[in-house]
Amino acid sequence: MHHAPEEQIGYLLKRVMHVFRHVLEERLRRSAEISFGHLVTLDQIKTTPGIAGAELARHLLVTAQTMTDLLKRLEREGSVERRTDPRNRRRDHWFLLPAGEARLASARQAGGPVMTQMLSLMSGVEVEAFKGYLERCVAGLEQASRDDAEVRRPRARTVAKTAKSSKTSVRTPRAAPVRAKAARKTSRAR
């Protein structure tokens, strides 16, 4: 059975990420007593001081509840500090504390050899080329995401403008069949 190169690349990317994360997680737990989730959260807070919890969840591809639990644990451990937004009391901003800086440095030191091992069979030139290819893959996906958003956005604006100008309710494609079905039931009952 022959697979298209795109399928093979997608599978290999998934496999690399799975093995990398597994090996890194083991090393972090053994050497730095920190999880991969804690590492990437601390790293993101260091990169973006004052980031909101919801934004952290989106960046790290986890649910808001998972991120909330993670942040509460890091806060109890003294690694991060929560500050409430003065303009929106429901929104929190997160900052790295010195203990979090130390944990992050320890985790990076423990995890460094995993990255080195992963790239050990490539030359320096190949590593640079690989990095460039991955950056272009990310750029391509981000462009596709922006293009998809642009295609959806004008339609949403048109519906909103129509609703404001006519001051009537706007029927969504889903709502119309439901109303029609309810009307049929009512007419049969008479």
84-94 per-position pLDDT tens digit: 888 888 888 99
* Mean pLDDT value of segment 160-181: 47
How far CA 126 is from CA of 115, 121, 122, 131, 188, in Å, comes to 15, 9, 6, 8, 73
Quick check: pTM over 0.75? no
Residue 94 neighbours by CB distance under 10 Å: 25
* Mean pLDDT value of segment 18-33: 92
How far CA 5 is from CA of 10, 11, 36, 139, 165, in Å, comes to 9, 10, 30, 19, 51
* Mean pLDDT value of segment 124-143: 95
pLDDT > 80? residue 9: yes
* Token couple for 172: 């969504």
Q: Quote the CA–CA distance of 44 and 184 in Å, as a whole number.
A: 55
When mean pLDDT is compared across 85-94, 96-105, 120-129, the lowest value belongs to 85-94
* Mean pLDDT value of segment 99-128: 95
Give residue 168's pLDDT. 45
Contacts of 66 (CB under 8 A, 6+ apart): 57
* Mean pLDDT value of segment 124-133: 97
DSSP state for residue 171 in the 8-state scheme: P
Give residue 155's pLDDT. 52
- Name the helix (H) or strand (E) containing 69: helix 64-76
Contacts of 126 (CB under 8 A, 6+ apart): none
Mean of per-residue pLDDT scores for the chain? 83
pLDDT > 60? residue 167: no
Give residue 153's pLDDT. 66
* Mean pLDDT value of segment 46-65: 93
